[in-house]
Each structure stands twice: as structure tokens, then as C-alpha cells.
Structure 1
Amino acid sequence: MRLKGAVTLLITLALFSPASLGAQAAPTKRPNIVILLADDWGFSDVGAYGGEIATPNIDALAAKGVRFSNFHVAGSCSPTRAMLQTGVINHRAGLGNMPETIPPEHLGKPGYEARLNNRVVTIADQLRNVGYRTYLTGKWHLGHTPDTVPTARGYDRALALAQSGADNFEDKPNLLIYDKTEWSEDGKPVKLPKRFYSSTLIVDRMIRYIDGEKASGRPFLASVNFIANHIPVQARDADIAAYAGRYSDGWTALRNQRRAAAIAKGVMPTGVAMVTMDSSGDWSKLTAEQRRQRAGAMAAYAAMGTAMDREIGRLIAHLKAIGAYENTIFVFLSDNGAEATDPMAMGAFTRWNANQLYDQSIAQQGRPGSLTAQGAGFASASASPLRGYKFTASEGGLRVPMILAWPGNPAIKGGTVAAGFAHVTDMPLTLLKLAGVMPQQGSFAGRRVEPMIGMDLSPMLTGAASSVHSADKPLGYELSGNAVLFKGDYKLVKNLPPYGDGRWRLYNITMDPGETKDLSGSDPDRFAAMQKDYAAFAKANKVLPMPEGYTAPKQILANALRTLLIPRLIALWPVGALLVMATAAAIWWRRRRRKQPLGSAKP
């Protein structure tokens, strides 16, 4: 067995050595890298992970590559994106919290810049330094100032959205949060076409960038960042029609179907236990109209996913046509778990505001002019068989599908599942190693930067190792007060309201990924030791306690009001001033008339 392991390791080293990857040869021998980042996709949304949504092109990548079944990100988008770009934990990269959820008391504190700070260096910077062309299209959400747009952080060309999401058919923001969209191209504000669909536009522009430098023969990094399936969930009519009636049995039935399919696909252990999430509600108690509305929203969600997959297929077909497919590393992942937030369930004011700004009729769901959301019930199915959603530190918020494929490299065991723990900070280092590029180790271009903390996942791609993370090395995480300490098979976790009660719990997420059995009482020594590990992480990374009464949903609303109300009041002040002057004049005139003696009026 030892001899067999040694031979496997030698083969792995040979196939993934810098020489075999072209590190000592011309830059054209290095592989291209395509990162396909989905937005708010749950663990089992992809067909290869047990989902019923049609994702044939992502599934084809899974058949060529390795599916990671224990891969973790942050609970919301920009912290994940910061770690994916830099290999540095979000608190050191500037995204201790994101702009939409950060309390004012934290903004600007070390690690809480709410943008990618200048103490980190991106994978694009490092690849461009060795001759790569670097392109980004779609959602950036890591800054909008001249020094934080993609072209200031290592990208040669970029069509980038600086916000968390936007309309998919119009150059229009989510009007509940923003007053305008912040799309830019190559660092300058850009107006989008009058008619477009977001996933198509994002791939169109990436193909244009790749083709524009094709003659150079240089390898490229293509970071393709979809806004599917972020709110507003929108898709073309034909895609929505394909899912008509598919979700009429409700989310509980779908959650159970997804669980069985995830086991059958090999991405979940046989017999995995599963909780019923309190916030999902009881499908059987809904009215017929409510069921039609929720099933229609889920149909739009599935349609948006299928549309995104089709565009991935179009990009892959183009790479095949230009002879770049075989020597391209593809990475597919989601930035966090499924989104349970629904504006129509956030209180009377938000619901009224959404109805004023959008057509929220059942018939219009997912179509232009609507603000559709999947909602908590079907988000529980997207996360199946995990607990929790986006924003939470539960597995449903942090564990996402991740596929890595390199079609022309025989070392990667296509169609296999890697069940060992892996983390988003592992990705930049892994990709650099696969490209034969020496990763930065605390300095870059003559300046000191935050060192990358990730591990090289290459041995998991070949089956030479089941895990690359040491069982005794802790990895901490925190966002909006929801916190985690990973260590080996175990996870210490707490969630603040409204997602939890603020108490620490302990789970074995290898045996119990659904987080159904709290081990804090039966394993008190481990529980205490991991709490000490988390305290050390929080101190080292300057994690701030959340203000009293903080919740992420309330903070989103408060920050949105500040963002929207003040500019609108400023814009309206001339009108207000005129109204005040007119009112004052009217009052003055009435008082003057009352003071005039009878008969004194002029003829």
C-alpha cells in the first residue's frame, strides 16, 4: 500500500510539475484559466450535485473534472470574491463585511474597508506578471473607486458591476437598494445596450476580450462572474415556460428529492440526516394562489440557471472552435448558498415599495419589470440536504458546488468526487501552482502584501490525497456576527438572529453535513478547545463584535435608506424650497387680508 501511494504521488508530481505545465517553456504552454462564478446558487442546484435544473454544460465539466463536495466559501458575495481573487481571508482583504450589510460603526476600521484593500494582491496581478492576458466580466462588487476597479487590480480588460446585483434586461439597479447602476468598462462608466440579457452580455464581452488578443498567443485568465441567480430573478419567457408546473408539489417534496439525488450522485454520504428549516413554512397550508406564486418564482429561478448554463456552453464551444479548450482549466463555483430573502416578505413598507417600483403580479414573475425572489421555502430545497441559507454560517450558507476540470490533462480523474474539506482561499494558490507560477509569499512587485493562506488542491484532483488540510490546523471565519471555526472533520458555529440564537454549537460535518446533531455536550473538551481557537482567530484578524440588536436584513434596509433617501432629498430640495416659499407667501397674504379694515379694498 505504501509503494502504491508513493507511485501515485510520483505520477502526480510528474503530471503537475512546472516543467509539464510549461513553467520552464514559452508562456504559450501555460494553461488558460476560466473561472465561472455563479451568484447565490445552492449546493444541490447543479444537476451533477442532485438538482433537477437543466445544467448540461456544467454537468459536462463535472464529467471531465472533479466535483468537490465539502468546499466552503463565505456567507455572502463580496467576502467570497475577495478570497477567491486573493487567497487571503476576507478580514485581511478589506471585506470583514460588505457595503450593504456593514454597520456604520465598523466602516473604515482595519479589515472593514468594505472594498478590496491595497494590502492584498490578486491572482490577476500575479498571472499578468508572468505574461498572461487577464479579463473580467460581470459582477465585481469589490470596489468602484479608480484604485479598486478590476483594471486597477490586475485585469487588462473588464466589464464590471460594482454592486451586489442589477436588473438582467435593463440598465437598471435593484431599486430597493440603489439609485443607479454602477457598470464600468476598463475603469470608466459605461452605458449598457438598450436590450440585453445579463448572462448573454457577460459571455459576449468575454469572448470579445479573448478574441481581441488571440493573435498574441499568450495564455489568458477569464474571470466570468454571472449575476444569475441574484435578486431580481429573471429569465426569458421560453426558459420559464420549460419549468411550468415543475414545482407545484412544493419545497418539502423538492428538498427530499434533492437529498436522494445528492446521495445518488455521490456528493453526500448515504443516509445523510436533514433538518426541516423553520423559516421555510408549510406548503400544504398555503392558499392555491400562494402556491402558484411560489411555484412560479421557483420556475423563474430554474430558468435563470438554465440560461446561465447555456451561456457557459457557448463560451466552451467558442474555446473549442479556437483550439483553446484542451489546455484550459475550468473552475465552476457559487459565491455563497441560496438566497432566502424575499422583498415581498420583508414587511409592509418594503412590500408596498416593491409594488410601487415593479410589476409584482404572479403572471409577471421573472419577466422584465419584476423583482422576483426564490424565497426561503425553495431556498431550503436549493440547499438540500444542508441547513441554512445565504448570510448564515450554517452549511447551507457556506458549502457550495465547486468543479475543477482540465480537459487536456490526463492526471485529473474525470467524473470523480473529492470529499475532503476545501476552502475558497485554496483556489488562487491551486490555480497558480497548476499554471506553473510561483505564488506570492508576502511580497509582490517590491512591496509587502498579505500572504496567501490557502492550500494546493492538486493532490485531491488526482486522488493522491483525500484532503490537503491538516486535521489539527484551525481555519476561522466570521461575517456579520455569524462565525465558524473549521478543524479537521469538525465545525464550531454560531448564528446571530434572525438565523440563530447566538449560541455556539459543534458538528462533525463529514459524518453529519446536515448539522443535525450538536456535539457540544457530548464532546466538551473539543468544544472548549475550538472556542479557544476561534478566539485566537478573532483577535489575530481584528474581528469586531456586532452592535447591539444588529441583524444583516435590518442593516441592508438601514444602509439602503441612507443611500437612497439623502440623494433624493438633495435632488428634491429646489422643489421643497419653492413649496415652502409658496406656503409662506400664501400665509402672509391671508394674514394681510385679515388685517385690512372693511371697505378698504381697492377697486
Structure 2
Amino acid sequence: MKKMLTTFVLLGCFSWSMAQQKQRPNIILIMVDDMGYSDIAPYGGEIQTPNLSRLAAEGLRLQEFYNNSICAPTRASLLTGQSNHKAGIGFFNVNLGLPAYQGYLNQESLTLAEVLKQAGYSTLMAGKWHVGDDSIYWPNQRGFDRFYGFIGGASNYFDIGSYTDKVPPVPLVENNRRFNLEPGRYLTDEIAGHAVTFLEEQSHTNKPFFLYVAYNAPHWPLQALPEDIAKYRGRYAIGWDSLRNERIARQKQLGLIKPDATIAPDPEVPSWESLTYDEKKLWEKKMEVYAAMIDRMDQGIGKILDKLKALKKDDNTLIVFISDNGAQGGFIPAGRKRQRSSGPIGTAGSYDYQEQSWAHVSNAPFRSYKASAYEGGISSPLVAWFPGHIKAGSIARGTAHLIDLAPTFYEIAGATYPATYHNVSTNPLQGVSLSPLFFSLREIDRATPLFWERAGNRAVRKGRWKLISSYPSKQWELFDIERDRGETNNLAAQQPQVVKELSAAYDVWAKDNNVVDYDRVKPVGPAGFAGPTGGSSPSPAGRKK
């Protein structure tokens, strides 16, 4: 049955007065693209991210926050509080002929912007959309007052000023108007800059705001500014084996993983010392550029924080930072040719990407990569910051998911999630509010397990147990995540009753969310894939005259 109107009210989770509650908090949601669990400094990384380090030191980090393993399905759940299938993006942003796989957000699944706008919020977005290519499904048609960014799954970061097959222009949209990125601009800077502009413009209203900043960094192609690349010159000469060990040691020191945590190996990653000198130099450059892309993203967060302070809104704003999936692993052709670079790594002509050996470092200490339901594919850092309300320096287990952010935001905003919207009956929210976790560090009370399905990869998480099968195999594996988050010891044979219980729960969930066997809807050839592991190619659309 459809739920009646659900009103989220503040129930003592905050330590503020009634007068303060009348001044509803602003909300900033920041998501990066294809970044691993350990890439940023607060999660053990060596990349310079001082602004995220500040937010973590003054706020909360979760050890266990889950995404949907790949771009469009993650964004579907993030924006709606639904499973990606329930929202209409069970596979990707392509239409596979069923409502759960139509490739754009359905009308029954309301976006954060639609709900918060009805609650009196200004709704602002800068960055990557990727949940509906047709203009009738663009951000301004789904509740956002202001939008600047790109619609598809990937984009170049530079425009060289003249169209070529190898270096196409960068097509963008601002409030439904199409145009191209100006030559000499860097897209990561433009996303942050427009977020700052939107905040300045919004400050002349008397409304609270919701700002969604969806960076495409560090998603391929590897393109960065020379001054940022220079910061990391020589840093990665130690190689991926030593760097991974460094990060894991820091994660243990920080308390993000246990001292005896299981560490996932990858036998496909060669030892650094097995490479030739020239091979090492090529690989070093890849990671230098990847690090530079994350560095520049963090610089943009700094500009947003500076604007908040200048507007005197920094003491009444919740900021949540996450990644859409784990780092990119091996290249999966799926019937298409790999794009070739027409310039050195880091430049506008570069179509290289991080690749598996470095991604194994980015996802440390976990197993596997983007598009997988193993921990390396679905685990994200989460940093939450709200001065005076979130305890500084907190680290919590969490076991939270994308679907939990919508009810969290609606609760702190005092927003009502409607049973009908524009005469359409809405899908009830599927997650739980994280307010008790954020503001009181209480464990989440979750009545049902967490579930995943994407391209035949399936998983269930209930308490300490995680059930998983990796396509094309349909054989279930079982892991004790409390003891073995590296997923190194399959306990399915020893715990048949747990496998039976969780697989039965999965079947019920799959039916309720219109999930079908992947072999029934699997696209033939390159449909829905134009880049590594499902990322879309930078568009070759023609230049604006």
C-alpha cells in the first residue's frame, strides 16, 4: 500500500533551541565520480585534500557507507531515496524496454529537489546529471531552480577551441540552454565556480538552500591542470605496492579499519618491481594526473566553504561528501574499441584512465572495483559536517546507504514527502534517516537488509553478513564483514542457513523492485557503454556557431 503523507519532524536529535529550529538548515551534497575509498586524506590517502580534511576533523566520517557501484544507478538512488530499479534506472541511462530499466527517473520517484522545493528551499545544482538524457528529464524539469553542468555520463575537462574527432568540444547546459565550455577553462573549476555563483545569487532570498555539487572528477579521461600535476611529480615512484601499504597503515592509525583487518589481494596486479623503467614512468604519470584531478576538486570545495563563511551561513549548513562508486578497474570492451589518446596523459587529448593497478590502491583495503558488488565497488567515504551539531572528529561504523540520505535531509529540513505529486502516486521512501547516527552517534535501526543488483551482480547486507554473487556466476558467496571486510573467506558452505535466509530475502526484494534476471535484459553490443566499465564517452557533439 502507498503510505499516507509522511511528515518528518525534528525529534530531539539536535541540540539547538526552538528559535534556531525556525531557521532551517541549508544542505550541501557533494559527490565525486569514480573515486576510491582511500583516495582522500581523511581516509588514508596522500593526495592533498585540506578542505575535506577540515570537514572530517570538524565533523563525522563513516566507515561503512554504500553506493550502487556505478554512475547512473547511484545517482538514481541518491536523488530519489529509492532502489535504482524502483526509480527507473535498473541498468544504466539506456532504455532496455521495461519500466525498471527505462534509463531515466520515473515520475513516481521524487527527487531531492522536488521535495525540498515544495518545502520552501532554493534548489541548486552544478555538475553531472546522468539520470535522463532527453531534455524533458533534465534537472530544471525535476525540481532544480538553477543548473549548470553536463547531462551524460562523462565529459572532457578541456576545450581546445576547434573541433576535431580526437578532441571534441565540451557540451554543457545551463538552465536548459545548450552551449560549449569556453577554451582555456577547466571543467572542475567551472562546476565549483557556478556553485559559488549560485550561492551568492541565492543569498538575496530569504529561503534556505539545497545545493547539489556533482563533480565528474576524477572520472576518466585523465586531464588536469599542469600546476596541479606538478605537485605530485615523483610522488608515485614508490609504486602501487608500497603506496597501498602506506594507505592501509594510515587507515589503521586513523581508526577507519581494524588493526587486524583482512586485506584483499588482486593477483591480476603485477608487482611494481616487475615493470621496466619506461613502464614505471608511464604509470607514475597516470597517478600524478589522477591525484591532480582530486586535488583540484578539493580546491573547489574550499571556494564553496569560503563563500559560505562570507555569507555567514557556515554555522547553519549541513555538508555531506560521498563518491558515486569505487575506482575504475580493468577495461571492459563490451563490443567497442578503446578510445585512443591524441595527446600526452593529462592534456586535452588524453583518453587514458587510472586502470586497475592504481585502482587497487584507491579502493584499499577492499576487493574489486567499480561496477562490482564487492566492497571495492560499492564502498564510499562519507564525510558529514554541521558545526555545533555533529561532534568533531567522529568516526562511526554507519552501515548506511544512498537511500538513507533523502529521509535524512527531509527530516532536518522539516520537509513533507508527499503521497501524491502532480496527481501521480509516489513511491514510498526506502531508506532510514541518519539523523541519530549523525547527531547522536547511535547505530542505525534498519528493519530490512540492504540490497543490490546491477548487471547481474547481486548482494545483500544484513548485520555482519554479506551475501554476494558476481555475474556471470549465480553462485552465492557469504562473508562475515565484521571480521573480513576484505571478503577473503567465503563462508557459504559453513553457513547454509544464512545463505538460505538472505537469498530468500533477496528474492522478495527483487520482486518488489521489479528486478529481472540480467540475461533477459542484457544489451547486445555496446548499448549503454561507451567508456571503461560503463562510463559514457565525452560527447562528440558539434560546436556551437
- CA deviation profile, 1:537-561 (whole Å, cap 9, x unmatched): 122222122238969996655899x
Matches within 5 A, 1:115-514: 115-170=104-159, 182-342=171-331, 350=337, 353-355=339-341, 358-359=342-343, 364-407=344-387, 410-440=388-418, 442-470=419-447, 473-496=448-471, 501-514=473-486
CA contact (8 A) 1:354 1:371 kept: yes
How many Å apart are 1:332 and its aligned residue?
0.4
For 1:547, which of 505, 519, 525 is the aligned residue?
Answer: 519
Describe the shift of the 1:125–1:203 C-alpha distance in structure 2 as closer, same or farther (beyond 3 A): same
d(CA) in 1 for partners of 2:524 and 2:309? 43
Q: Shift of residue 319 of structure 1?
A: 1.0
Counterparts of 2:411 and 2:529, CA distance in 1: 42
Alpha-carbon contact 1:338-1:389 (below 8 Å) kept: yes
Contact 1:12 1:459 in 2 (8 A): no
Amino acid across the alignment from 1:350: K
Moved more, 480-489 or 535-544: 535-544
- Deviation for aligned residue 1:503: 2.5
After superposition, the Cα gap between the structure-2 partners of 1:538 and 1:49, relative to the gap in structure 1 and judged at 3 Å, is same
Corresponding position of 2:64: 70
Shift of 1:144: 2.5
Residues 87 and 14 (structure 1 numbering): CA distance in 2 closer, same or farther, change over 3 Å?
A: closer
Paired residue secondary structure (1:127): helix
User: Structure 2 counterpart of 1:354, which letter?
Assistant: R
Deviation at 1:65, TM superposition (A): 1.1
CA distance in 1, matches of 2:517, 2:425: 28
Equivalence for 1:525: 497
Equivalent position amino acid for 1:165 in 2: A
Which residue is equivalent to 1:5? none
Which runs of 5 or more structure 2 residues have no equivalent in the other structure?
1-9
Looking at structure 2, the residues matched to 479 and 261 of structure 1 have their Cα atoms a distance apart, in angstroms, of 32
Contact 1:340–1:390 (CA under 8 A) maintained in structure 2: yes
State the 1:15 CA deviation: 1.9
Identify which of structures 1 and 2 has the higher relative contact order when contacts are C-alpha pairs closer than 8 Å and 6+ apart. Answer: 2
Contact kept, 8 Å, 1:12 with 1:411, in 2: the verdict is no
SS state of the match for residue 420, structure 1?
strand
Q: Which has the higher helix share?
A: 1
Q: TM-score, normalised by structure 2?
A: 0.90
Contact preservation (8 Å) 1:166, 1:173: no
- Over residues 240-299 of structure 1, what are the superposed CA-to-partner deviations in whole Å (9 max), with x where a residue is unaligned? 111111112221222222111111111112211112113323322222211111111011
1:113 partnered with 2:113: no
For residue 118 of structure 1, give the secondary structure of its aligned residue in structure 2. Answer: coil
Contact 1:64–1:414 (CA<8 Å) still a contact in 2? yes
TM-score w.r.t. length of structure 1 = 0.82
1:91 aligns with 2:78: no
The 2-side partners of 1:469 and 1:415 are apart by 25
Q: 1:218 to 1:171 in 2, by over 3 A?
A: farther
Letter in 2 for 1:144: D
Q: Are 1:13 and 2:5 an aligned pair?
A: no
Are residues 1:44 and 2:19 paired? no
- Decide whether aligned partners of structure 1 residues 354 and 230 sit closer, same or farther in structure 2, where only a CA change above 3 A counts: same
Say if 1:21 and 1:436, in contact at 8 Å, map to a contact too. no
1:425–1:453 contact (8 Å) kept in structure 2:
yes
One-letter amino acid matched to 2:91: N
> Separation in 2 of the partners of 1:171 and 1:86?
37
> Does the Cα contact within 8 Å between 2:166 and 2:349 map onto a contact in 1?
no
C-alpha deviation, 1:13, in angstroms: 1.3
Partner Cα distance (2:252, 2:163) in 1:
37
State the one-letter code of the partner of 1:521: A
Task: Give, in whole Å, the separation in 1 of the partners of 2:389 and 2:212.
Answer: 24
User: For 1:303-344, what per-residue CA distance to the aligned partner results, in whole angstroms no more than 9, with x for missing partners?
Assistant: 11011001100110111011111111101000011012458x
Q: Give unpaired runs (5+ residues) of structure 1.
A: 1-10, 572-603
- Structure 1 match to 2:6: none
* Separation in structure 2 between the aligned mates of residue 453 and residue 178 of structure 1, nearest angstrom: 42
**SS of residue matched to 2:380:** coil
Indicate the structure (1 or 2) with the bigger Cα radius of gyration: 1
CA 376–20 in structure 1, closer or farther in 2 if over 3 Å, else same: farther
Residue matched to 1:577: none
Give yes or no for contact 2:61–2:384 (8 Å, CA) kept in 1: yes
Query: What SS does the aligned partner of 1:278 have?
Result: coil
CA contact under 8 A between 1:457 and 1:468: conserved in structure 2? no
Contact 1:141 1:162 in 2 (8 A): yes
User: 1:513, 1:44 → 2: CA distance?
Assistant: 14
What SS is found at the alignment partner of 1:222? strand
User: Are the aligned partners of 1:443 and 1:451 in contact in 2 as well (CA < 8 Å)?
Assistant: no
Are the aligned partners of 2:329 and 2:368 in contact in 1 as well (CA < 8 Å)? Answer: no
Calculate the aligned-residue CA RMSD, in Å: 3.0
The question of whether the paired residues in 1 share the 8 Å contact of 2:170 and 2:180 is answered with: no
CA distance in 2, matches of 1:248, 1:67: 30
2:487 matched residue in structure 1 = 515
* Residues 559 and 224 (structure 1), Cα distance of their counterparts in 2 relative to 1, 3 Å cut: closer
Give the letter aligned to residue 436 of structure 1: G
Instruction: Provide closer, same or farther for how the CA distance between residues 178 and 397 of structure 1 changes in structure 2, counting only shifts above 3 A.
Output: farther
- Letter in structure 2 aligned against 1:503: Q
Structure 1 residue 178: Cα displacement: 12
How far apart, in 1, do the equivalents of 2:96 and 2:167 lie? 19
Q: Secondary structure at the match of 1:111?
A: helix
Q: Is the 8 A contact 2:107 2:424 kept in 1?
A: no
Distance 2:160 2:174 in 1: 14
For 2:429 and 2:289, how far apart are their aligned partners in 1? 39
AA aligned opposite 1:547: D
1:31 aligns with: 25
Structure 2 vs 1, CA of residues 292 and 145 (structure 1 numbering), >3 Å: closer, same or farther?
same
Supply the distance in 2 between the matched residues of 1:275 and 1:540 (Cα, whole angstroms).
33
Q: SS of the residue aligned with 1:250?
A: helix
